Amino acid sequence: MANLDLFAESSSGVPTADRARMQALRELLHTYAHQYYVLDAPAVPDAEYDRLFQELQLLESAHPDWVTPDSPTQRVGGKPLDQFAQVRHAVPMLSIRTETDTDPSGALNFDTRVRKELGLTESDSPVEYGAEPKFDGLAMNLRYENGVLVQAATRGDGESGEDVTQNIRTIGQIPLRLPEGVPAVLEVRGEVYMRRDDFETLNERQRQRIAAGEKGEKTFVNPRNAAAGAVRQLDPAIAAQRPLSFFAYGLGEITPVEQGGPAFGTHLGMLQALKLWGFPVADLVDIAQGAPELVAYHVRIGATRDQLPYDIDGVVYKVNSLALQKRLGFVTREPRWAVAHKYPAQEQLTTVLGIDVQVGRTGKLTPVAKLAPVFVGGVTVTNATLHNEDEARRKDVRVGDTVVVRRAGDVIPEVVSVLIEKRAPDADIFTMSGSCPVCGSVAVREEGEADYRCTGGLFCSAQRKQAILHFAQRRAVEVDGLGDKLVDQLVDAGVVNTLPDLYRLGLTALAALDRMADKSAQNLLEALQQSKQTTLPRFLFGLGIRHVGEATAKALARHFGQLDRIMDATLEQLLEVADVGPIVAASLRTFFDQTHNREVVEQLRACGVTWEEGEPAVQAPKPLAGKTFVLTGTFPTLSRDQAKDLLEAAGAKVAGSVSKKTDFVVAGNDAGSKLTKALDLGVLVIDEAAMVALLRP
């Protein structure tokens, strides 16, 4: 006989047993999914999991108000999106430096830099590092609130990315709900990737669909592109058909210790906590004591690279101690305590079919080898840069040559060398023309530079096209839908000659273009209208000023507050900006000294392009500008980090070791070898109180 209490009804007349069963099923399915996807140890047959899943679906369909965001049924749910919403990261997703030396000695370079920054000598103990594979996938930020996944966002430009929560829910390895005891706010960072076997299965399925005559289907070039395409798929149901995996490797925002958050001491300790909370962490993560063990790790992982179930393009080293990470800090926007150490790029042989010259946004002329198609580093390569005439001459690349091609850094294909023994006797030496291949303007090579540049400026259609594409890109003013082919049509038809012409476009002119329907034309006009509301750093970056990247544009905007102040600034005033040196300052001054460039800015303003402006950043007195300090020992009231921050705010440089160039050594209790060296060199030694006195203007 049924237990009548079990079927007692709530005040709303709905059986409470259903609700209890739904909760029990969710917990059970979460456990089975973790065992299957993360631990690779399934506890029940697939048929049993499916039966329980279907039972939960039936209960949720009967009680839709009780469906929770962390339910296993919500892994594939939601309507297709029109576009992804933008998400601003609470903690920026910064990139890490890439070690350019791909030999094992690159690990020595990193360890040397770290020890130098920490002021360590040969007699000091080795630095302890965490070492892990560098996954070839898509960086992702997962935000959990009260243990429930509420948002997933791509890296984007580091400060903001795209909200891809619906698609990330489809990844079985990513928990929708965390166990009890996790921080109230927890952002987990990691890599979304596609396993090699899953990639092959996906491509085989795609080939079958193509053979069956299904339209719009294609095979994928490599696992990374397939993973990125799945993450950015607007329909989560389609994304769910593309098998994705995840590895956790770091944190973003997290409840602070003073509010009950965890107190991690090491990077590896943090990874262990992530594993306990249900996140997959790579088995190849390891501890390395000093440079020799970093080298050994690089060699060991490199030897097994091709046998791994997923693609990697290097390894990552991180100082294990979080206290030392904080002490090392950042340079520009990269941590001093971490580095990506890549492996030598894969190489293949192919034939040079021709050598073309491409014209870049700033007029730079770049010789490009046209190649017989070859599969290198996961993609089919048909072009490879020769960089400039000197490089092409040094390598002596000629049409018809058999060449070694590699993807430098697994990104940019380049010609490494020529097999001279296979060269035809009548092969001609490559020579750069004295004119632009697009507009015929004179090509000049400035003193001290390796590159030729077209002097045609906006008269050159190639430069116009690149300038427009640069201005319209996502990290500049962002005009959605304005791509290469459309820009080609607009420039070639003479409809757009300068940037302000974009905002003078009308529906009739756009609709008259080839393959441009009324709806597409209207969408572009709306995108142009939306792009008028931008920011000063984006607008400044979008102007395409040589040597002015995103970081420099942001520094200029912070320093001056208004565009007019930047345009009218002297070289001396520009050099006061933290991210601006003599070359950048000269480039800015040259750009804004040109009447036609100022005219473009004023016309863009007249077309309604606008941004918020403010007052310049307050320039506090720098009483210690040009002085170098070294800190040693324990101070009475300040931590070493606090002392360093105070000194740097006063304009001083804080070094990790004592030399003849050191102006002051600030010594506290238990000062070590740095104090001894300062006394030997005759460097002035002061205490905390004297240092604080020097800080006063």
The two three-digit tokens of residue 40, written as one number: 């690779």
User: Got the DSSP string for 159-170?
Assistant: SEEEB-HHHHTT
- How deeply is 473 buried, as exposed, middle or buried, from its count of CB atoms within 10 A (0-12, 13-18, 19+)? middle
- Among the listed residues 653, 577, 562, 658, the one whose alpha carbon sits nearest the alpha carbon of residue 610: 562
Which of 134, 318, 395, 677 is catalytic? The answer is: 134
Angstrom distance (rounded) from CA 172 to CA 30:
10
Residue 306 CB coordination number (10 Å): 9
Q: Are 218 and 206 in contact (CB under 8 A)?
A: yes
Q: What is the CA 186 to chain-centroid distance, rounded?
A: 21
Q: What is the CA 84 to chain-centroid distance, rounded?
A: 18
Distance (Å) of CA 670 to CA 170, 601, 602, 674: 55, 59, 62, 11
Q: What is the CA 427 to chain-centroid distance, rounded?
A: 42
SS3 16: helix
3 state SS for 381-443: EEEEECCCHHHHHHHCCCCCCEEEEEEECCCEEEEEEECHHHCCCCCCCCCCCCECCCCCCEE
SS3 346: coil
134 among known catalytic residues:
yes
Residue 550 CB coordination number (10 Å): 17
- Specify the amino acid at residue 374: V
- Specify the amino acid at residue 96: I
Which residues are catalytically annotated? Answer: 134
